[in-house]
Each structure stands twice: as structure tokens, then as C-alpha cells.
Amino acid sequence: MVSTITIDTQTCKACGTCADVCPNHTMYKNNSTGVMGVYEDRIKLCEKCGQCMAVCPTASINVEGLSYEKDFAPLPESGPYEDVFYKMIASRRSVRNFKDKSVPRELLEKIADAIRYAPLSFPPHKTEITIVQDRGIIEQALPAMIDMYDMLVKMMDNPVMKMMIKKSAGPDQFRTLENHVIPIMKDKLPELRS
């Protein structure tokens, strides 16, 4: 299904930011008229990612199926965002002390809702989230997950299998596996098995 993209030329400031962020270059700025436009022959490439709407300072873009009210938080007016971001990141710690109590369903739903704004690093962009709150189901699934990661660790220790995984996963995902996932699994699998 082809998306429809409209630009309100009455409110658009023709800053061109929407065209700059569009991953499929469906928009352009007409330098002679100073008006933003949509390439009709490229509109079929629109992924409905919402990047153009998210960066538009005047909310002048409408992508069919998306709305400013439902899908986007308002852009902040002004401020030292780098400082706020830095302080937020600096206040986080990587060591977690988990408690043996359930996370409220409302909080899990809020987190899942926020995840939809996170960029995906791999196509296709069709990801679903399943939230499991039943401790019994998690404990029942744990042996299968341990076996899967154990098999992955063994495959990465085998030079032939490692080469096949590297080719299949691609360089970025392979580096993540090799430098992060596998070392963590080698460290934690014995503890998980007990």
C-alpha cells in the first residue's frame, strides 16, 4: 500500500529538515520557489517511519496513518539538551540489584510503548514485543533459553561455525555477538544452569 504524504504549505517554513532526515529521500526543497515537495515517483518508498513529522518544527507534514497527537511528543522549545542527556546517562549505572517482585503491568506497557520510538538497526522493521509476567512460564522457558545460548557459545568456539555465523549475521551483529553476548554467556551460563 502506497503512503500519502501531504505538506501544509501555509505553515511549512521550508527549512528542509524533513528532506534531510528521510531515509528514502521522498521529499525535496524546491530552491527556486522555496517550497517543500514530495517526489511522486518515490512516495511508494515511504516506510511511514515518521522521521519527517518528528523533526518538523511547525507540524506541517502529515503521513497517512500517523498523527502528531498519537505518535509524537511535542518538540521542546529550547534548552541545553546535551547537558540534560549527559546528566541522565551519567546517573545510570550498569550494576543492577533486582528485587523478587513483579513489575506493574502499567509500567511494562509504558516501557513497551516507548520502545516503538527507538530506531531499529536491521530490516525488516516489523518487530513485536511479548510481555510475559507469569514467573512459572519464565522458569519453564529458561532451560530452552540456556540450551540455545549454550549452543551459540559452542558454535562460536568452532572456527567453521563461527565463519558461517559471521557471514550470516553481518559485521555489526557479529561484533556484538563476539564482543558482548558470548563473553556474558560464558560468564553467566554456569550460574544459570545451577
* DSSP secondary structure string for all residues of 104-169: PHHHHHHHHHHHTTSPPSSSS----------HHHHHHHHHHHHHHHHHHHHHHHSHHHHHHHHHHH
The mean-pLDDT minimum among 21-30, 48-57, 70-79, 143-152 falls in 70-79
C-alpha cell at 80: 541545553
Dist. CA 176–CA 171, nearest whole Å = 9
The pLDDT assigned to 19 comes to: 93
Percentage, residues of the chain above pLDDT 70 = 87
Dist. CA 25–CA 45, nearest whole Å = 9
Between 122 and 117, name the one with better pLDDT: 117
Over range 148-167, report the average pLDDT: 95
* pLDDT beyond 60 at 116: yes
Per the CB < 8 A criterion, the answer to whether 61 and 70 are in contact is no
Over range 69-98, report the average pLDDT: 70
> How do residues 47-73 score in pLDDT, each as one tens digit?
888 889 988 999 999 999 898 888 887
pLDDT bucket at 161, cuts 50 / 70 / 90: very high
Location of C-alpha cell 560464558 = 186
Region class of 123: left (phi > 0), else alpha (psi between -120 and 50), else beta: beta
Between 84 and 165, name the one with better pLDDT: 165
The pLDDT assigned to 58 comes to: 93
CA atoms within 13 A on the CB side of 27: 29
Residue 128 sits at the vertex; the CA angle it makes with 147 and 114, to the nearest 5 degrees, is 115
Domains in the chain, CATH or no CATH each: 5-71 (3.30.70.20), 93-193 (no CATH)
* pLDDT beyond 70 at 183: yes
The pLDDT assigned to 99 comes to: 78
* pLDDT beyond 60 at 172: yes
Mean pLDDT estimate for the chain: 85
**Does the model's pTM come out above 0.85?**
no
The pLDDT assigned to 112 comes to: 86
Per the CB < 8 A criterion, the answer to whether 192 and 142 are in contact is yes
